[in-house]
Structure 1
Amino acid sequence: MEAIEDNSGQALRRAPSQKRSQERVERMLQAASALISEGGSDAMRMGEVAERAGVSIGSLYQYFPDKGAIIRTLAERYNAEGRACIADGLAGVRDMKGLIEAFGGLIDVYYGIFLAEPVMRDIWSGTQADKALRDIDLRDSRANGALLAGALLRVKPDADSDLVERKAFLIMSLGESTMRLAISVERAEGDLLVADYKAMALREIAAL
């Protein structure tokens, strides 16, 4: 069984190598997601996760040393799904008009995911208070920025690559911050904030 570590070297969990173990870990994560959805991550307890997953508390700790490890694992899972969505949405872009349409659509899709997924909202609302989550968020913004920069350089191959990469990173990072802000206020105001971000981001992309 292999230990998985984050960039700081802190073990987050143990990677299951057998199918039965993989299924057990999946039950643990599903149980944690359900509990977070019902009462928030602050109220979630390791014993409740084990009970709902139908595993012993010792088995839970074997894979997840603490509640934070579960939350970080869920965060990384949502990030991976988001990157796949962005990569797919930008894959067919071949001109600036297509890029603007595709990226504008991705903003709408991402906002919809934030609104619809209480676990994702809960995790990212606590990002600034958790250094490990901040580090995950930063790595995700860089990865997403690289996807946007790649699409931009396909449609404008003569552009300054350093400038494109820096602006793409900033656009993605601001997008994450905008989503967290939008879900922390009343829905009507949140919708306007996302619309304002979308307009600013698309102007920057078009100006490159």
Structure 2
Amino acid sequence: MSGGKSGKAGGRLQLRKRPQQERSIQRLEAILAAARELVAEKGVEGLKMTEIAAAAGIPIGSLYQFFPERAAVIRALHDLYTSRVEEGTRRVFSQITSLAAAEEQLSWAIDTAYDSFRGDPIYLPVWLSSMSDRDLQTLNVNHQQRLTQILCDAFRPLLPQGSAIDLETRVMLFVYLSGAAVRRAMIEDDATARRILDEFKASVRKTLFST
């Protein structure tokens, strides 16, 4: 996730130092790798700054040079996912030339998100943690708004002339509900998950661009 613009939410979640030199970049990468391993092992609630520093092989003071608190580490992990999703969405949907192709790509995107995140041990814990932190919730909303804009920019030129559908609201609901459907599917066995996603995709095909 490319970090959401933060405003008031930014201070406690922002990197204190943007790495410029190779050593600092490697240290930041080691911190995030350690955080990922600890979240996979213990969950977000068990994540402690002292343990992150120890697992990364750095002094605790060096960790605080980058991150003011644990929530900032979670935000950095969160941003890894949102940037990946946004960049992939922009790349894939910039190439579509018809609404039929758009519907096919949306189905593909839903399946791809499920396949990618189901086997990822930290995606769901990081997302669930973000729901209990107001500032991280704001970043989630910002991410959804950016995805909505990317998709609307791709779809709007394809609509029939004079179309009166509320494209932005429909796409916003798709973005929100597709994330919810994927996360719900992730906690089921694979066969049940596929049924959930197939029903959701069928609903999207019937409603997203219909008049």
Q: Which residue of 1 aligns with 2:148?
A: 145
CA distance in 2, matches of 1:160, 1:141: 24
Q: Which residue of 1 aligns with 2:116?
A: 113
Q: Which residue of 2 aligns with 1:127?
A: 130
Q: Which residue of 1 aligns with 2:92?
A: 89
Q: Which residue of 1 aligns with 2:71?
A: 68
Q: Which amino acid aligns with 1:50?
A: A
Larger strand share, 1 or 2: 1
Larger helix share, 1 or 2: 1
Q: Does 1:53 align with 2:56?
A: yes
CA shift for structure 1 position 157: 5.9
Q: Which residue of 2 aligns with 1:78?
A: 81
CA distance in 2, matches of 1:131, 1:207: 35
Instruction: Check whether the contact 1:72–1:132 (CA below 8 A) recurs between aligned residues.
Output: no
Instruction: Check whether the contact 1:5–1:13 (CA below 8 A) recurs between aligned residues.
Output: no
Please point out which of 17, 22, 30 is paired with 1:19: 22
Q: Which residue of 1 aligns with 2:200?
A: 197
Instruction: Check whether the contact 1:96–1:155 (CA below 8 A) recurs between aligned residues.
Output: yes
| Residues 5, 64 of structure 1: alpha-carbon distance in 2 compared, 3 angstrom cutoff | farther
CA shift for structure 1 position 187: 4.0
CA distance in 2, matches of 1:43, 1:160: 51
Q: Which amino acid aligns with 2:6?
A: D
Question: Which of 1 and 2 has higher RCO (CA within 8 Å, sep 6+)?
Answer: 2
Instruction: Check whether the contact 2:147–2:175 (CA below 8 A) recurs between aligned residues.
Output: yes
CA shift for structure 1 position 193: 2.2
| Residues 139, 5 of structure 1: alpha-carbon distance in 2 compared, 3 angstrom cutoff | closer
- Any unmatched runs of 5+ in structure 2? none
Question: Percent identical across equivalent pairs?
Answer: 25
CA distance in 1, matches of 2:124, 2:43: 10
CA distance in 2, matches of 1:58, 1:67: 14
Q: Which amino acid aligns with 1:98?
A: A
| Paired residues, number | 205
Q: Which residue of 2 aligns with 1:6?
A: 6
Cα RMSD, aligned residues only: 2.1
- Any unmatched runs of 5+ in structure 1? none
